[in-house]
Structure 1
């Protein structure tokens, strides 16, 4: 079965973006970039990957799910289909596909229950599903997350959008798969959901 992977940059104080959704404080230069771009090339916006000459392998993700606010970050610069190489699912209770400029066959805006949608996606053949953000959607999908990949950056935001928004979900245990510290100060840690048979308690 396909995995739902929450792959995201996060500050030392637990924010994935500033109060207005800004994320320009995260370092985009340093020795961590080559490593993350090699493994997670599928998670780079299409136009940026093309401009940088980064080849997408298609072996990590073939689908991305995100909330409307995460999707809308690119609209002011004309990025109406940020991940054209992936199947894109945008969740919103108030927006529809009529709010998306242009026509994008591989982008769907839906008010369906995110859990039901993700469970349906998991049952289909394909690569992993990338949970792009934001914190509210991550909280809704907390029980469906199979893998966490956190790019912890050596910055403090003070306020903003948390990794998980306050909410109610069952406590979940994860096993550390790997942690790599880079000279840039960025630490990439990967965790897999602990299966019941692995839980010593």
Structure 2
């Protein structure tokens, strides 16, 4: 079965973006960038990866899920055209190759995708979609940056499900102060 992987940059105080969706305070340079581009190349926007000469193999992930605001931040019609892209919106539409906009229930979509053949499914953001999909998340990979936003879009917006437990499987700290922390869901029974 495929995994739903929530892979996201987050501040020390738990925000994935500022109040207006800004993310420019995240460190885009430093010793954490080479490992990011090596292991998580498929999470890079296609145009950026091509400009950097980074190969995108779709081995870790082959599908990306985004809320509309996360999709719109990039300002391009198909930011991850090397992947199957699914954008959730109840009122908007977009047309681009490998991009699907849907008003369907995100949990039902995620469950259906997990049953298909393929690589992992990347939950790119945002906080509201992450809260909706939290019960379906199998792996959580946080790129924790040594910054505080004070307010903004939280890692998970308020949700109403029972506490879920994750186990730490890897934690890498870089000289830049960025930490990659990877967790897997602890399944009962």
TM > 0.5 between the two? yes
Quick check: 1:94 aligned with 2:86? no
Q: CA deviation at 1:105?
A: 3.1
**Corresponding residue of 1:189:** 181
The 5-angstrom pairing of residues 64-75 of structure 1 reads 64-75=64-75
Separation (CA, whole Å) in 1 of partners of 2:166 and 2:176? 26
Aligned pair count reads: 189
SS at match of 1:143: helix
Separation (CA, whole Å) in 2 of partners of 1:105 and 1:26? 29
Check conservation: 2:78, 2:97, Cα contact below 8 A. Answer: no
SS at match of 2:109: helix
Check conservation: 2:81, 2:97, Cα contact below 8 A. Answer: no
**Corresponding residue of 1:28:** 28
Check conservation: 1:87, 1:107, Cα contact below 8 A. Answer: yes
The RMSD of aligned alpha carbons is 0.8
Check conservation: 1:18, 1:157, Cα contact below 8 A. Answer: yes
Structure 2: tracts of 5 or more residues without a match:
none
> 4+ residue runs of structure 1 moved beyond 4 angstroms?
none
**Corresponding residue of 1:54:** 54
The match for 2:154 among 154, 162, 175 is 162
Normalised TM-score (structure 2) = 0.98
Please say which structure displays the higher CA radius of gyration. 1
Check conservation: 1:179, 1:190, Cα contact below 8 A. Answer: yes
Normalised TM-score (structure 1) = 0.92
Q: CA deviation at 1:74?
A: 1.5
Structure 1: tracts of 5 or more residues without a match:
none
**Corresponding residue of 2:14:** 14
- Stretch moving more, 167-176 or 41-50: 167-176
Separation (CA, whole Å) in 2 of partners of 1:105 and 1:2? 23
**Corresponding residue of 1:177:** 169
- Stretch moving more, 178-187 or 50-59: 50-59
The 5-angstrom pairing of residues 68-147 of structure 1 reads 68-75=68-75, 79-96=76-93, 100=94, 103-147=95-139
Check conservation: 1:153, 1:186, Cα contact below 8 A. Answer: yes
* Deviation by residue 1:21-66 (Cα, 9 ceiling, x = unmatched): 1101000111111111111000000000011111112111100001
Separation (CA, whole Å) in 2 of partners of 1:123 and 1:105? 23
